Amino acid sequence: MPENINNANTSNWKNKSTILIVDDEQVSRYTVEILLSPEGYNLEFAENGEEALEKAEALVPDLMLLDVMMPGMDGFEVCQRLRNNKRLAELPIVMVTALDDRESRLRGLKAGADDFMSKPYDRAELRARVHTITRLNRYRRLVETEEQLAYLANYDTLTGLPNRNLLIERMRQTLDRAHRTHQDVAVLVLDLDNFQMVNDSLGHEVGDKVLCEIATRLTQAVSIQEATVARLSGDEFVVVFDTDNLVKEVSHKSQGLLDSISLTMIIDNQEMVITASIGISVYPSDGLEAAILLKNADTAISRAKAADKNTYQFFTTEMNQVALERLILENQLRKVLANDELRVYYQPQVESSSGQLIGMEALVRWQHPKLGLLSPIKFISVAEEMGLIVDIGKWVLQTACQQTKAWQRAGFPPIQISVNVSSRQFKPPHLLKTVKEALANSELHPIYLELELTESVLMEEKSDSDNGILGVLTDLRAMGVKIAIDDFGTGYSSLSYLKRFPVTTLKIDRSFVQDICTDDNDAAITTAIIAMAHSLSLSIVAEGVETLEQLAFLQDKQCEIIQGYYFSPPLPVEEMTHILEKVIEQPLYLMKNKENLDGKTF
């Protein structure tokens, strides 16, 4: 109990306390008045149950002394009806009876009485009980009032969401944590578009229901993420959350909120669609304090509304440009296959011991109508996120197989084609079916196809079931298809999966090859990978070879296959066909004028 209450003058408590005495006998009412009047209480009286309920509703007293035996509505019924009244359910009730039997007391407790007293009254007992109960009830009301005041200070009474006060405090805690963990924090301020029209045309009651529905939708949209949703004022809401992937995650979340808000809602039989504009600021780039971030997000809302509403805008112009480019890229990426904008480029693979062309890797490119030729770095990750990579991967595989067979039919020496397979694409049994269809449609023999997987694909395998990754790879190998691990050395590089899965080739990542002549660590790692591949009877391919010195190092370590700009960049079909024509005339065409450090010419 707080010190100021604990030490309060007793008379101050009494003067504030109202006691309702309910008794049909005038003598009993007079007796209580005589006993309690000197104590300074405010005494009110009722002669029957109906009057007791009316006065209790009007006065909300601190205590009711309720006689059990009354004509008409007895004390038990009065007590029970009070307990069913939400406003008076906590009213302290002391039942008074001349009956001192156990059955009456049990019945009173069942009805909801707090205590019992017997007639005739004992003066000391009456004063003591009344004093204790009224004091406790006053304190309980004070605590409830303080809790209510605290709630009103921190929460919006209409939606139940945190208000500006609590939002600022939670943002302070979030920003402190972000400072320690070096994370970004996104602050999204949402303002409903043309909301005043709802209030003007349908009334504020409907408008309030719309605001409650928006609050529910926002809360549900971020329920799986640790985010704060608050209502600032009017039709303005705020969403705050941590992020590790600024543009991607914030753009995705903002669009998701807009989509959720704009879903049709029915309020009082009125069907309506509400949209919103979102302004975004980011900690720490747009501000270090909550008030600054909210101000900057508000500024960004003006940009969003000027941009035709129902959209989002970042406070930072540069970030807006990145987000806009991504949005445009996503929209255009959906149409690449229908618009025939994808191209397959081919990069030669050369046998290091002989200098002969023995294979090539198929690499997808996007012939963008405005941006020109885009490398996969620009769009493959976006395609994976959008779920488009399966269709794109299938198209690349089919195109590469058909072109390889076309070269064979044209009389060129049969060589192997390597095709990358995304982790999203690798979902048994879809990959097996896709490969079989590509080989059947192109009539390419399986021994001329190699699939390149990343280590992460193999790490997803939880068991050795026939329907899992292992089963699919085993079936592919039985057909004659080769299996290569791409970018080896950058992931798990675990011997365990090399033993489990029917892998035929390891491809050393270009990040190691780049500095093998100047970095002892990269040289040691590359040497170890080559030695490990040889010990496991696996082929080894080095990617990203660009200099004669790199080539000589790899030859010295007996790396079988070389791929990189030293021989050729990835080429379109026409130029790759020209290379093949030259190779027929000069088998060592790609090695022409190329010498290793020992002075040998291929």
List all residues 6 or more positions away from 201 whose beta carbon is below 8 Å from its beta carbon.
none
List all residues 6 or more positions away from 142 whose beta carbon is below 8 Å from its beta carbon.
5
Does the pLDDT of residue 595 top 50, yes or no? no
pLDDT of residue 452: 93
Does residue 159 fall inside a structural domain? Answer: no
pLDDT by residue (tens digit) across 51-61?
A: 999 999 888 88
The enclosing H or E element of 153 equals helix 123-154
212 and 95 housed in the same domain = no
Q: Yes or no: say if 377 and 417 are a contact pair by the CB < 8 Å rule.
A: no
220 and 117 housed in the same domain = no
Does residue 170 fall inside a structural domain? Answer: yes
220 and 308 housed in the same domain = yes
CA distances from 436 to 432, 439, 470, 504, 570 (A): 6, 5, 17, 19, 26
131 and 189 housed in the same domain = no
Does residue 598 fall inside a structural domain? Answer: no
pLDDT of residue 495: 65
pLDDT of residue 429: 59
Does residue 368 fall inside a structural domain? Answer: yes
CATH number at residue 194: 3.30.70.270
113 and 30 housed in the same domain = yes
Does the pLDDT of residue 8 top 60, yes or no? no
242 and 366 housed in the same domain = no
pLDDT by residue (tens digit) across 494-528?
A: 566 777 889 999 999 888 899 899 988 889 989 99
> CA 42 to CA 441: how far, in whole Å?
98
**Of 267, 297, 332, which residue is a domain's last?**
332
Q: What is the pTM of this model?
A: 0.54
Does the pLDDT of residue 598 top 60, yes or no? no
Does residue 342 fall inside a structural domain? Answer: no
222 and 138 housed in the same domain = no
pLDDT by residue (tens digit) across 138-164?
A: 777 776 666 666 666 778 878 888 888
Residue 418: φ, ψ to 5°: -105, 130
251 and 275 housed in the same domain = yes
Q: What range defines the domain where residue 456 resides?
A: 350-591
Does the pLDDT of residue 105 top 80, yes or no? no
**Of 122, 154, 186, which residue is a domain's last?**
154
**Of 332, 360, 389, which residue is a domain's last?**
332
pLDDT by residue (tens digit) across 128-144?
A: 888 888 887 777 777 66
Does the pLDDT of residue 7 top 70, yes or no? no
310 and 375 housed in the same domain = no
144 and 170 housed in the same domain = no
- The residue ranking higher by pLDDT, 207 or 308, is 207
558 and 506 housed in the same domain = yes
User: Among 15-19, 471-475, 546-550, which is the least confidently predicted range?
Assistant: 15-19
CATH number at residue 145: 3.40.50.2300
190 and 108 housed in the same domain = no
Q: State which amino acid sits at residue 531.
A: A
Does residue 62 fall inside a structural domain? Answer: yes
pLDDT by residue (tens digit) across 215-264?
A: 888 888 887 667 888 888 888 899 988 887 767 788 888 888 888 888 88
pLDDT by residue (tens digit) across 340-391?
A: 999 999 999 999 988 899 999 999 999 988 889 988 888 888 888 777 888 9
Does residue 456 fall inside a structural domain? Answer: yes
Q: Yes or no: say if 285 and 316 are a contact pair by the CB < 8 Å rule.
A: yes
How many independent structural domains does the chain possess?
3
Does residue 343 fall inside a structural domain? Answer: no
